[in-house]
Amino acid sequence: MIDFTPFLMNEAQSTQIVKQLALAEGFDFCGISKAEFLEEEAPRLENWLKSEKHGAMQYMEGHFDKRLDPTKLVPGTKSVITLLYNHYPKQPLPVNDNYHIAKYAYGQDYHQVIKIKLRNLLDGLRKELGDIEGRAFVDSAPIMERAWAQRSGLGWVGKNSLLLNKSMGSFFFIAELLVDLELEPDGPTADYCGTCTRCIDACPTNAIDPYQVDASKCISYFTIELKEAIPDEFKGKFENWIFGCDICQDVCPWNRFAKPHSEKEFVPITDLFEMSRKDWEVLDEDAYRRIFKGSPVKRAKYSGIKRNIEFVKGQ
């Protein structure tokens, strides 16, 4: 790494260092935005909440201003650094005679894995650029991460409401660093969904409107976020998903460009390759704790997984 003198560093040079260090830490893409109020997102978020499309996720109603303005979340923030980290598996889990879990949950909890990388990146930036202040986030704060990723040129928000990247599809995690450093912002990319409606057509619960998902109808919401009973009206529509759902991603044409990740922490838990539908159904709490130690699946808790299996069973 070139040893630039901090007081001689301009925005372009600082930005180059940020992106070099991000790639060296294993992130697939890095984009920069100026930290400011997300004016276009404000009415969309307000209407989504007023329409109660967030379901029982009451936490979505809080920190409205902070969601839209990173300078209120972290005072002094000047730039939003957005990063993508691939989680597409080399080998999918068996699908025949089996229940399904989302690909992002095949291995260890991404929060811990990526948070360490973000801290390493921030430490590296301080060594190269001086005493900067910043905070790291990965799906752990009221941040409109897809909006920032789109602003930073990392992709566009597709009709399934997920960020789509022309080079790698949508199977990745989004993370942010909010820093008090002036950087050179990237520009947004165009929308390449075109007339395609595969995600909308494939959703078995009709949760997707163009560019917006009604979480209160989404399989991922039901199997992870919802704590009470799943509404009977959705019986027979889960297509064997018991934790999360990848349907709208699996059918997306842009995911033909998805490439297997190289993160050892995301390698599928070995037991999952050997589990059949019957194994899931007789899973006891001790086995659940052993198999899914450190896994995102722990978020649903044992009672939640058993509830999901009972709901899907026999479909």
158 vs 203: CA distance, rounded Å: 14
Identify whether residues 167 and 227 lie together within a single domain: no
133 vs 19: CA distance, rounded Å: 17
Residue 206 lies in a domain: yes
Alpha helices in the chain (DSSP H): 11-24, 41-50, 64-68, 70-73, 110-129, 145-151, 198-202, 219-220, 247-250, 270-274, 277-281, 285-291, 301-312
CB atoms within 10 A of CB 157: 17
Burial 275-287 (b: 16+ CB within 10 A, else e): beeeebeebeeee
Identify whether residues 18 and 154 lie together within a single domain: yes
Q: What is the pLDDT of residue 140?
A: 80
Identify whether residues 136 and 175 lie together within a single domain: yes
Active site residues: 139
CB atoms within 10 A of CB 141: 17
Identify whether residues 214 and 140 lie together within a single domain: no
Instruction: Fill in the DSSP letter of residue 165.
Output: B
Residue 7: pLDDT band with limits 50, 70, 90: very low
Residue 191 lies in a domain: no
Tally of domains within the chain: 2
- For residue 1, pLDDT over 70 is answered with no
In the numeric block, which tokens belong to residue 57?
């996720």
Q: What is the pLDDT of residue 58?
A: 85
Is 99 in contact with 240 (CB distance < 8 Å)? yes
In the numeric block, which tokens belong to residue 114?
């990526």
Identify whether residues 55 and 125 lie together within a single domain: yes
Region 187-193: mean pLDDT is 95
> Token pair 């199997």 is at which residue?
223
69 vs 45: CA distance, rounded Å: 13
Q: What is the pLDDT of residue 306?
A: 97
Residue 100 lies in a domain: no
Identify whether residues 110 and 224 lie together within a single domain: no
Q: What is the pLDDT of residue 4?
A: 47
In the numeric block, which tokens belong to residue 117?
């990388």
Q: At what angle do helices 11-24 and 110-129 cross, to 10 degrees?
A: 140
Residue 118 lies in a domain: yes
pTM: 0.94
- Write the pLDDT tens digit of every residue in 259-303: 999 999 999 999 999 999 999 999 999 999 999 999 999 999 999
Q: What is the pLDDT of residue 315?
A: 62
- Write the pLDDT tens digit of every residue in 111-160: 999 999 999 999 999 999 999 999 999 988 899 999 999 999 999 999 99
Q: What is the pLDDT of residue 6?
A: 44
In the numeric block, which tokens belong to residue 108?
């260890």
* 8-17, 161-170, 254-263, 298-307: least confident range: 8-17
Identify whether residues 208 and 166 lie together within a single domain: no
Identify whether residues 136 and 276 lie together within a single domain: no
Identify whether residues 273 and 148 lie together within a single domain: no
Residue 187 lies in a domain: no
Residue 5: pLDDT band with limits 50, 70, 90: very low
Distances (CA, A) of 20 to 30, 123, 191, 223: 9, 14, 27, 38
Region 83-112: mean pLDDT is 95
Residue 184 lies in a domain: no
Domain span at residue 228 reads 198-258+267-312
Residue 23 lies in a domain: yes
Residue 127 lies in a domain: yes
Identify whether residues 58 and 158 lie together within a single domain: yes
Rg (CA), the chain: 20
Identify whether residues 19 and 162 lie together within a single domain: yes
Contacts of 167 (CB under 8 A, 6+ apart): 29, 257
Identify whether residues 138 and 203 lie together within a single domain: no
For residue 142, give the nearest of 211, 87, 86, 72 by alpha carbon: 72
Q: Which backbone phi and psi does 75 adopt, to 5 degrees? A: -55, 135
Q: What is the largest CA-CA distance in the chain?
A: 67
